[in-house]
Structure formats: structure tokens, C-alpha cells
Chain A
Amino acid sequence: MPRIHFKTTDRYYEFPDGDEVNILRVSIRADCGLPWKCASGNCGTDRMVIEQGAENLDPPRRRERERLGDLLDQGYRLACQTYARGDVTVAWDPDQVGLDEESRAGQRLKAKWLGAADGD
């Protein structure tokens, strides 16, 4: 059975041959400790370095490419956006937070509220 090794917490998740699993989903299911926030490729909180098995992952799609930029070339992926179909080892900084100090979501909300206040 293929196995995902969550190296930072030293946890494992095994899944049946032929299945493809979302890495963040199985981390949540099996309590493997990957940090996350938005689950939609926005915040980057769940970025992880692929230490082994990058060939067993599906290719990054638009949101992940845009969010990670150069980090993709350095071996990073976003767990919420990534599916695995074979053995993989991933690691992360346990203290990591989102990629933007002020997230795009925060900027959007601020613009909305300030815009409303201006209009009053």
C-alpha cells in the first residue's frame, strides 16, 4: 500500500493501491498535524517541502502555481491542492503561517468595509 510520511510529526497515512488522496484531507483525517487555513489555495499556510516522491503527485494547477510562484521550483507544494497516488515524504516548519502577512482575503474584506464606510 502507498504511504504518505508526514515527517515533521512522524506520522504515516496508508491508502489502497490505485487510489489518489488529497494530502491535506488525509492529514486532517489521521491527525498528522499539517497547519492549514483556507483549503482553497489562497493562504499558503499548508505549504510543504516534498522530500521524496514528487513523481507520485499530480501536477500543480493554476491556483497553486500562482500562490507558490518560485517556491514551486524549490520543491514546495500546497497540501490542500495536491493529490498523491504513491509513496511521498513531506515536511514543513511547524510554526509556519500564511505566505502574506496580510492575506488577500484580508485585503479584500478591508477594501469592502472601507468602501462601505466611505459611501455612508
Chain B
Amino acid sequence: MAELMSPQELRVALEEAFSGTMAKDASFSRAWATGKLHKHHFVHWATNHYHYVGPFGDYLGLMYANTPDHARDAKDFLLQNMYEEELSDDRHTDLLIRFAEACGGTRQYVQDRRNATPFTKGLQGWMYHVSGTKSFVVSSAALIVGLESQVPSIYRTQYPTLINKYGFSEWEAEFFDLHITSDEIHGERGYQIVLKYADTPQLQQECIDIVREAADMRFAYTKALYEAYVEPDLGPWVEEEALAAASLAEPEKVLVG
């Protein structure tokens, strides 16, 4: 029978669960980080991202309702996370739409669910399912550790590229800058909840499994963006070519549009 892991062992196991399929390594993310994308690709990205993270307050609200009173610190974290998404400053989805508009998109286009891929709708549905039906410990592992805590590693590569290569202003790209830092903290708090409340070997294993599942979901969603929107323009993604081209590229800004 499996033994209860220490918090340190569980943290390592959770990190290992998503390290093989991180969204930063998916074709769309790699094309982004190596300066291959054009502004219309970013409009599609923002639209799909809107339908993935737009209901984050809903997901957190469902998790809040599923968290028992004795886990008051977890409830407070979820409430604070919800508040930060929606009210503490510019609404996060408004920052996303600001970026889409800087790329030539419109609020109406971004908000129209028909413009999202089936993979995006699948990811959204999966998040509603997990947050609405699983224990708060398991849903924290899925949404906060498996998905939200990946964000800094993705945007820390993509944000400098947006500014230095694609030529966006800091204001236009604020969505990314904000999430680099805020999701560091949300991710860490998510780990703390899981490390504290996953108190049986079975629950620990369930958390590890769902972190792996979350990473797979996000990877598939990101990869599908390349296949739906970029592949028709640039062909299938080949990592070696991109790396070779990036190392030969001139340091000036690439043209987008």
C-alpha cells in the first residue's frame, strides 16, 4: 500500500507530473517565443484564451462552494484570487481584450464563443467539471497547480518577445506582465493548499494524477491553436528549423501584421 508522502516529496511529485508536457513547449508557444507569429494569430490566441480563462471566477466560485469551513485559509485564498481576477484592478479579461484590440481584433469577436476551437471548449468544460464536482484539494491541484502555476514559465519567455520582437507597448501587453508575477503567488498558494490538505496517500495520488491531466489538457489546447490558425500559414511546426532561423535572425524587430 502506498505511504503518505511528506510535503517536500509531494511537491516534487506534483512538479514532475507536469514537467513533461508544459504548455510553454507546445508548438504555438514555441512559434510565439521564436518570433514567427503575426498579429492575426494573436487575435485567435486571445479569443481562445478568453474562453479558457474568462470563466475563472466561475471555476473559483464552484471551488469555494466545495471547500469546507474548516479549511478557511483555502476559502480565503479562492475568494482573494476571484477578487483579483475581477475587481482589484483592471478586469483581467479586459486586459486580454486590450491586447486583442492592439492586434486588430474586436471585443465582439473575442467574446463570441463560436470563434473558439473545440479543444478550447473542451478545456473550459473540463474546468467546470473539475471545479464543480471534485474535492477542493483535487480541484486546487488541477486548476491552480496544474494550470495557473505554469503561467509564469510561459509568459516570462513570451512577454519580452512581445515587447522586443513584435513591438507591442508595455500597456498593450499588460495582461502578460501582470500574470507573470500574480500567478507566481497564486501558484505557490495552490501548492500550499494541496500540500496541507492532501492528507491520505489516495488523495495525494489523485492530486498527482489530475495535475498530469491538467497539463495534458493545456498542452493539447495550445497545440491545437497552432494547428488551427498557424499551420495553414507556416506549415507544420519543426523545432530545429525555428531554432536555426532564430540564431541567424537579425536582432531588429520582426514585421507583424
Contact = CB atoms under 8 A, between A and B. Distances in A.
Query: Interface on chain B toward A: helix, strand, loop, or mixed SS?
Result: helix
Most-contacted residue by chain A among B84, B89, B170, B181 (CB, 10 A): B181
A36 B177 CA distance: 19
Contacts of B89: 38, 40, 42, 104-105, 108
| Size range of the chain A interface in the assembly | 20 to 34
A22 B88 contact: no
Given A39-B181, A63-B177, A104-B89, A28 B188 contact: yes
Contacts of B186: 39
Interface in A17-31: 22, 24-25, 28-29
Interface in B177-193: 177-178, 181-182, 184-189, 191-192
B170 A62 contact: yes
A81 B183 CA distance: 11
B88 A40 contact: yes
Nearest to B174: A62
Interface in A24-74: 24-25, 28-29, 36, 38-42, 61-63
A63 B178 contact: yes
B87 interface: yes
Nearest to A20: B156
B54 interface: no
Contacts of B146: none
A88 interface: no
B43 to A, nearest CB: 23
B184 A40 contact: no
13 contacts: A24-B185, A25-B188, A29-B192, A39-B84, A40-B84, A40-B88, A40-B181, A62-B170, A62-B174, A62-B177, A80-B181, A80-B185, A105-B87
